[in-house]
Structure 1
Amino acid sequence: MSIVVTGATGHLGRLIVTSLLQRGVPATGIVAVGRDTGRLADLAGRGVTVRQAEYDDPGTLRAAFAGAEKLMFVSGSEVGRRVAQHRNVITAARQAGVGLVGYTSIAKADTSSLVLATEHRLTEQEIIAAGLPYVFLRNSWYLENYLPQVPAYLEHGVTGAAGDGRISAATRADFADAAAEVLTGDGHTNQVYELGGDSFTLAELAGELARQSGRDVRYTDLPVAAYVEVLVGAGLPQGYAELLADGDRGAAEGDLHVEGDDLAKLIGRPPVALAEAIRAAL
């Protein structure tokens, strides 16, 4: 029997595997699943079982999940195709007799107005309908959504459409540690966790950058349509720009503000704070 982690070639999936190893789970009890197993060679070298699978290919999923006791189902990245792809994962998990499915969802999936939330909400519903024991990890935004843009922020300021909305972002590593806890700890079956770090507004993000860098960094709030134009003008595809702008719209309406301390309780420490993350980025 083993713990299977899908999406192991992605940032979050790999961090979940790493966190499991750090918690003392034997490498031989972990299966890392991804489309390109060549990118998992280092994990294989540590003794982790590596299996190739694609969300579009039910046969590969059935083979990848063989013998799985627990499954960490990292949501797919192809927006607009995830409902069908996720259904393949759920079917394969049921056929494999998986005893627990952890799913990386989105904050407030059952009520969120975000376009991105729709596929997560439907996936949660299908997991429950399939009769699978579950844990829903409703992750808010990653701090890494912002940190790579620090050089641009220092040069041009922060631009968005989030108004005064608070964003409970946390690092991928903290979300990964939470996933590892529900896979190895007790009492998590059929639980829903709303996960996020200490919240901030984009104006506070700009202010923290200004404080630490000594530069004049300010936040410019735009209407959603105008923000889409800015993103497209910066070279982003129209559809992706609209998704990002919709994220800010949802943030302005409170969709990314997580109350409570589920993340801190799961990982046993305070999540990495914005100030700390910015200090490291600078």
Structure 2
Amino acid sequence: MKLGVTGATGQLGQLVVEQLKKRVASEDVIALVRTPEKAKSLGVEAREFDYAKPELLAAQLDGIDYLLLISGNEIGQRAIQHSNVIEAAKKAGIKWIVYTSLLHAEESSLSLAGEHLATEKALKESGLEYTVLRNGWYSENYTGSIPGSVEAGAFVGSAGDGKISSAARVDYAEAAAVVLSDDSHKGKVYELSGDNAYTLTELAEEISKQTGKTIPYSNMPEAEYSKVLKSIGIPEGFADAIAGWDVGASKNDLYDEGKQLSELIGRPTTPISESVKQVL
């Protein structure tokens, strides 16, 4: 059984390959990446695979049975790109696609939801067997801001008192590997999130506790937060998107208490305190 992983040199993809190698033989894992040279350290076969080059995709899926389709990172292009992969999978005779979607995609106000729903629809209409992993927020989405926040003396955002059920990226990677290596998960839709929710005020308190410094949480209007992000070099469109996602968090779009992630991986998800500790 050959297992293909798209975006295998990305932050999530690399971790998925590591987790798969614990469950299946390395020669049964195929990394599908834009630049195969960058995949050498993964220790598996690597093939060139670019979502934006539909004419080349089917040939690169040859011999693969199960495919993990990790959502692309080009916001605004993803629905088209994912559709390209699904069409290629049909041509190549892929038996099952596992797709990384967004937590509660149907109800979410996050700007990301539309493209994920379009992809889920394309999967339903494809006639292929599929499973949807609706991933919640990665803790790293917030912990990446910790060094700058400590330096600035405050943690800023627009999430208000919204509860965030994040988990470490490795937790989601492990879930993907668990699912892809066991076909009893076919046909299911999983809502995946961390076991313990927190607000950004509580995250700032945890950072303060671990650093011994007072780092308050400063809640800002969306436009003001976007300005701050641009001032530290984040591109305009992406800064606006991040601020918008925080507003979604304020509406509890990133909150879930179903614990399906910890059930899948057979252990508690990584607590935010541990993710903070790792960054510090």
Mapped partners of 1:166, 1:94: distance in 2? 40
In structure 1, C-alpha distance between the alignment counterparts of 2:49 and 2:151, rounded to whole Å = 42
Partner amino acid, structure 1, of 2:106: D
1:53-64 correspondence to structure 2 within 5 Å? 53-64=49-60
Distance 1:120 1:209, change over 3 A: same
**Which residue number in structure 2 is paired with residue 39 of structure 1?**
38
State the one-letter code of the partner of 1:218.
Answer: P
How far 1:41 sits from its partner (Å)?
1.2
Structure 2: distance between partners of 1:51 and 1:251 = 37
Q: Secondary structure at the match of 1:136?
A: strand
Structure 1 segments of 4 or more deviating over 4 A?
Answer: none
Point out where structure 2 has 5 or more consecutive residues left out of the alignment. Answer: none
Matched ranges for 1:236-275 at <5 A: 236-275=234-273
- 1:116 matched to 2:115? The reply is no
Aligned to 1:181: 178
CA distance in 2, matches of 1:10, 1:280: 20
Amino acid at match of 2:97: V
Aligned to 1:194: 191
* SS at 1:177 equivalent: helix
- CA shift at 1:242, angstroms? 0.8
1:188 Cα offset (Å) = 0.9
Name 1:28's counterpart in structure 2: 27
Amino acid at match of 2:174: D
Deviations 1:123-154 (A, max 9, x none): 01111111221111111111111223222121
Any idea what the Cα deviations from partners look like across 1:76-110, whole Å, max 9, x if unmatched? 10001111111100101111221211101111111
Question: Structure 2 CA distance, aligned partners of 1:153 and 1:178?
Answer: 31
**TM-score normalised according to structure 1 size:** 0.95
1:235 maps to a residue whose letter is: G
- What's the offset of the Cα at 1:234? 2.3
When the two structures are aligned, how many residues end up with a matched partner?
278
Please point out which of 152, 155, 158 is paired with 2:155. Answer: 158
**Offset at residue 231 of structure 1 (A):** 1.6
d(CA) in 2 for partners of 1:234, 1:58? 36
Per the alignment, residue 18 of structure 1 pairs with 18
Name the aligned partner's letter for residue 153 of structure 1: S
Instruction: Write the letter of the residue equivalent to 1:10.
Output: G
Q: CA deviation at 1:172?
A: 1.1
Q: 2:207 aligns with which of 181, 205, 209?
A: 209
- 1:186 CA displacement: 4.2
1:138 aligned onto 2:134: yes
Alignment correspondent of 1:227 = 225
- Secondary structure at the aligned position of 2:97 is classed as strand
Decide which moves more: 148-157 or 247-256: 148-157
Equivalent-residue separation in structure 2 for 1:166 and 1:205 (angstroms): 11
SS in 1 for 2:65: strand
Could you tell me which residue of structure 2 aligns to residue 75 of structure 1?
Answer: 71
Is there any run of 5+ residues in structure 1 with no aligned partner, and where? none
Within 2, Cα distance between the matches of 1:72 and 1:146?
25
Q: Distance in 1 between matches of 2:142 and 2:52?
A: 30
TM-score scaled by length of structure 2 = 0.96
1:104 aligns with 2:122: no
Asked whether the 8 Å contact 2:146–2:155 carries over to 1, the reply is no
Q: Give the whole-Å Cα distance in 2 for the aligned partners of 1:154 and 1:231.
A: 16
**Counterpart in 2 of 1:7?**
7
Counterpart residue type for residue 7 of structure 1:
G
Q: Is the 8 A contact 2:130 2:186 kept in 1?
A: yes
The answer as to whether partners of 2:157 and 2:246 remain within 8 angstroms in 1 is: yes
Aligned mates of 2:278, 2:230 — CA distance in 1: 29
Aligned with 1:242: secondary structure? helix
